[in-house]
């Protein structure tokens, strides 16, 4: 499969996919959108998500994994203010483990957070062993202290 496939029967050649590509690597031709530089694709999913006819599919950000929104969720100023004012940093942690399914669900949601150029060049290490976590924390603090000194 090509990185970018277009269903010619559905494509209306509106150009939204090309206009929304943060790296500008989708060009419009008479046949429809075409990937200009597949190696530069950052798999952000904008092209597939924005296509109004679902004519576009990207192997790195498949149409099947996009979430269709009937209406865009709008948060009122009051709701946003209440949420932000109620937000608290956690300072005391529970000792029981979080279910692996919940951790995976949270990590999957976290990948949608904005990153520079939507490169998503972020990785996570999940440490389940409390003693190992204390050891990594101590070594990190020591390393930072030596960097500052």
Q: What is the pTM of this model?
A: 0.56
| pLDDT above 70: percentage of residues in the chain | 95
Residues across the chain:
149
Which residues fall within 8 angstroms of residue 3, CB to CB, at 6 or more apart?
35, 38, 41, 58, 59, 60
Q: Is the pLDDT of residue 1 over 60?
A: no
**Mean pLDDT of the 118-141 span:** 88
- Contact at 8 Å (CB) between 33 and 18? yes
């Amino acid at each position: 499969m090509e990185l970018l496939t277009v269903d010619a029967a559905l494509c209306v050649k509106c150009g939204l996919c090309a206009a929304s590509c943060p790296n500008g690597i989708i060009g419009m031709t008479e046949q429809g959108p075409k990937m200009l530089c597949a190696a530069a694709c950052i798999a952000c999913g904008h092209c597939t998500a924005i296509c109004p006819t679902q004519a576009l599919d990207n192997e790195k950000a498949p149409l099947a994994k996009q979430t269709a929104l009937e209406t865009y969720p709008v948060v009122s100023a009051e709701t946003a203010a209440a949420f932000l004012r109620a937000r608290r940093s956690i300072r005391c942690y529970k000792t029981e483990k979080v279910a692996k399914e919940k951790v995976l669900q949270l990590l999957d949601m976290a990948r949608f957070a904005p990153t520079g150029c939507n490169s998503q060049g972020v990785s996570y290490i999940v440490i389940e062993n409390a003693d190992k976590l204390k050891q990594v924390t101590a070594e990190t603090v020591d390393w930072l202290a030596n960097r500052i000194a």
